[in-house]
């Protein structure tokens, strides 16, 4: 089969189209023919060597939708011919967190496409049958792949971690990103008022179309001051963070009393200061979040099936053009999810 792999850590040019064996599914695994594969910031971190334990050559890719073409002897929950999205967390099933249904906290878990397994930048992938989730008939493979990791990450952050309440203010940083486009929609669905930030007015207009009540152009305005203006000096109840060092200080300054900041990433750097005095006197919370669970994926697909959550697609590239997709992501040119089509 064809697969895109990086052969050393470095720039987009390290991604090469290779011919590799089709993986053989184990007794509790399924072989999935991939029709749509999401491109994620995680893929870029792996490619640039942020996780040096990964052995090269390696095919990244954590957001997979496709058809089951082979099932191991012990597989009971899904069958050959079924359309499935792959929940991005492979988990052990027996640790204390798995027993609670918190698979993304598994002590022996990993995200699909990170070591040790090869990911979704390929024509086929073998995965545990337990993480294959049925795709509703109303959704395409592109829809499902566009939701798989990005939407469950946003859902997990806003619905489970911060428990956004009706009437609250939510600030979504970098609302045009893969996770941002879902954060705007989910916060609205939960009844919040949404302030979206982006680096261009075109992206801000699209964020308004997705449901943002107010927008801030972070390349022209001081975000925390603009938030204070919009909220009559109060600040927001929840900040949706994933940008990291570049926005951290503005995000903290935007928080209202009793506000909570939730983050799922540090794209621009891991450093970030916290004024402990302000943190406790204002009784604020800092929360981490990473990916989501199978239940999150089922709920997100159900919301999309009912038209509540709209998959937001940016560009679809043939598998062989993965380098272009990575360049587009690095340039922050996209609005929503970029996909690869391994069948093209
Ligand atoms: Zn576990």
Q: Which domains does the chain have, with CATH numbers?
A: 2-149+292-341 (3.90.180.10), 152-288 (3.90.180.10)
Quote the percentage of the chain above a pLDDT of 70.
100
pLDDT in tens, 106-151: 999 999 999 777 999 999 999 999 999 999 999 999 999 999 999 9
| Region 73-93 average pLDDT | 96
> How many angstroms does the Cα of residue 30 sit away from the middle of ligand 1?
20
- DSSP class of 151: H
| Region 187-199 average pLDDT | 97
> How many angstroms does the Cα of residue 143 sit away from the middle of ligand 1?
28
Decide the pairing of beta strands 193-198 and 214-217: parallel
C-alpha closest to that of 291 among 328, 271, 265, 330: 265
> How many angstroms does the Cα of residue 231 sit away from the middle of ligand 1?
42
| Region 184-191 average pLDDT | 98
> How many angstroms does the Cα of residue 290 sit away from the middle of ligand 1?
15
> How many angstroms does the Cα of residue 116 sit away from the middle of ligand 1?
16
Taking CA atoms, 62 is separated from 15, 39, 205, 213, 278, in Å, by 16, 8, 29, 32, 38
Q: What CA–CA distance (Å, rounded) separates 204 from 221?
A: 13
Q: Buried b vs exposed e over 281-315: b needs ≥16 C-beta within 10 Å?
A: eeebebeebebbbbbbbbbbbebbeeeebbbbbbb
Taking CA atoms, 162 is separated from 165, 237, 240, in Å, by 9, 10, 9
Q: Residues whose CB is under 5 A from ligand 1 (ion)? A: 91-92, 95, 98, 106
- Whole-number pLDDT of residue 290: 93
pLDDT in tens, 206-245: 999 999 999 999 999 999 999 999 999 999 999 999 999 9
> How many angstroms does the Cα of residue 61 sit away from the middle of ligand 1?
22
Quote the percentage of the chain above a pLDDT of 90.
93
- Does the pLDDT value for residue 336 go beyond 90? no
Kindly indicate the confidence band of residue 94, based on its pLDDT and cuts at 50, 70 and 90: very high
Kindly indicate the confidence band of residue 279, based on its pLDDT and cuts at 50, 70 and 90: very high
104 C-beta neighbours (distance < 10 Å), count: 24
| Region 248-261 average pLDDT | 98
> How many angstroms does the Cα of residue 88 sit away from the middle of ligand 1?
14
- Whole-number pLDDT of residue 179: 94
Q: What is the mean pLDDT of the chain?
A: 96
> How many angstroms does the Cα of residue 288 sit away from the middle of ligand 1?
18
| Region 261-281 average pLDDT | 95
| Region 73-80 average pLDDT | 96
Residues in contact with 208: Cβ distance below 8 Å, sequence separation at least 6, in sequence order:
196, 215
194 phi and psi angles, rounded to 5 deg: -115, 130
| Region 253-261 average pLDDT | 98
């Amino acid at each position: 089969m064809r697969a895109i792999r990086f052969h050393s850590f470095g720039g987009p040019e390290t991604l090469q189209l290779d011919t590799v064996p089709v993986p053989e599914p184990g007794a509790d695994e399924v072989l999935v023919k991939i029709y749509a594969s999401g491109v994620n910031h995680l893929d870029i971190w792996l490619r640039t060597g942020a996780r040096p334990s990964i052995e090269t050559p390696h095919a990244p890719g954590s957001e997979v939708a496709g058809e089951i073409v082979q099932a191991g002897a012990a597989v009971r929950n899904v069958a050959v011919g079924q359309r499935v999205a792959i929940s991005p967390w492979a988990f052990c099933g027996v640790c204390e967190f798995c027993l609670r249904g918190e698979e993304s906290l598994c002590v022996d878990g990993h995200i699909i496409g990170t070591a040790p397994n090869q990911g979704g930048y390929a024509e086929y992938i073998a995965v545990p049958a337990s993480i294959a989730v049925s795709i509703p008939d109303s959704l395409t493979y592109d829809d499902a792949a566009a939701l798989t990791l990005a939407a469950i990450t946003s859902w997990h952050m806003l619905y489970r971690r911060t428990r956004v309440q009706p009437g609250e203010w939510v600030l979504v940083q970098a609302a045009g990103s893969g996770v941002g486009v879902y954060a705007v929609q989910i916060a609205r669905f939960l009844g919040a008022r949404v302030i979206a930030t982006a680096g261009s007015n075109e992206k801000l207009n699209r964020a308004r179309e997705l449901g943002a009540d107010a927008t801030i152009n972070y390349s022209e305005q001081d975000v925390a001051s603009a938030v204070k203006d919009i909220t009559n000096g109060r600040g927001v109840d929840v900040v949706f963070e994933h940008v990291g060092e570049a926005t951290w200080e503005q995000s903290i300054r935007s928080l209202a009393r009793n506000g909570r900041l939730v983050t799922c990433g540090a794209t621009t750097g891991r450093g970030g200061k916290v004024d402990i005095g302000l943190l406790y006197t204002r009784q604020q919370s800092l929360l981490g979040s990473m990916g989501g669970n199978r239940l999150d994926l089922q709920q997100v697909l159900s919301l999309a099936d009912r038209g509540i959550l709209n998959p937001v697609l940016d560009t679809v590239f043939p598998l062989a053009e993965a380098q272009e997709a990575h360049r587009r992501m690095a340039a922050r040119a996209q609005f929503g999810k970029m996909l690869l089509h391994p069948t093209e």
